Homo-oligomer: A and B are copies of this chain.
Amino acid sequence: MTNPSATADDTRLLVLRALLPARDPDRRAADLIAACAHVLATAGARGATVRAICDRAGVSPGLLRHYFSGLGALIAATYVHVAQGVTRALADAMEAAGTDPQARLIAYVTASFRPPIAAPELLATWAAFWSLVRSDPAIASLHTEVYAGYRDALQKLLMAAGVSPADAPQAAVAITALVDGLWLELSMETSAFTADDANIIARRWLASWLPAQIAT
């Protein structure tokens, strides 16, 4: 999302530009992506129209096609952006947990129920993407890729924490499913439980897959 060719020298320039009515292309594309995520969360896939998104971004409807090849491409780009954010947040939480394999695993999973991931709007955006997987081939292939990556990372963490290689794939599927199910309910306004509850439940599920029951 950030121009990789930006050097330290144009940093001041970028900062100046950010204050003005946004003639910086990256900034505008990011605005559109943020607006798309918000509309998806608020109005669902059905309400994610060109005009709704551009209104939210404070931009004329014609501009969307200047930055993206069409509405579908913007939605796909939004998925990529949100998925990257989630992936990074999980990885950060894991790194912050230190070197103990079980602690890293638990941090990786329970980060799903802390900010910035546990925010209702982000989860609602994510839920909207789920609803597009069956009808939008681009979203479908992104979904497959993202989930394969998540399960793969989880599998490695599980094995590092002592789960046998024979059990790890099933455990990864099982933990992913629980996290998704908890996300799903948390993404709706009238949830029967909180992110803290979800955190506790996920820890318990994790502990049941680990060899020694000494999980924190």
Is A188 touching B131 in the complex (CB atoms < 8 A)? no
Q: Across the interface, which residues of B come within 8 angstroms of A170, CB to CB?
A: 197, 200-201
Is A44 touching B45 in the complex (CB atoms < 8 A)? yes
A23, chain B: closest CB distance, angstroms = 33
CB contact under 8 A between A204 and B135, given known A148-B192, A181-B179 = no
Assembly CA distance A130 to B186 (angstroms)? 12
Assembly CA distance A187 to B132 (angstroms)? 12
Which one, B147, B151, B177, B204, contacts A182 given CB within 8 A?
A: B177
Is A135 touching B193 in the complex (CB atoms < 8 A)? no
A130, A179, A197, most chain B CB atoms within 10 A: A130
Q: Chain A binding site: helix, strand, loop or mixed by DSSP? A: helix
Q: Give per-residue flags for A40-71: 1 if the beta carbon is below 8 A from chain B beta carbons, else 0.
A: 01111111000000000000000000000000
A211, chain B: closest CB distance, angstroms = 15
Assembly CA distance A190 to B187 (angstroms)? 23
Assembly CA distance A181 to B135 (angstroms)? 19
CB contact under 8 A between A181 and B188, given known A46-B46, A134-B124 = no
Is A34 part of the binding interface, using a Cβ–Cβ cutoff of 8 Å?
no
A40, chain B: closest CB distance, angstroms = 10
A191, chain B: closest CB distance, angstroms = 9
Is A189 part of the binding interface, using a Cβ–Cβ cutoff of 8 Å?
yes
Assembly CA distance A131 to B45 (angstroms)? 8
Q: Which 10 A-B pairs have the closest CB atoms?
A: A181-B181, A131-B131, A177-B181, A180-B181, A44-B135, A174-B201, A177-B182, A208-B208, A178-B178, A45-B46
12 further interface pairs, Cβ-Cβ under 8 Å (given A134-B189, A177-B185): A43-B135, A44-B45, A45-B131, A46-B46, A47-B135, A134-B187, A134-B188, A140-B188, A173-B201, A178-B178, A178-B205, A180-B180
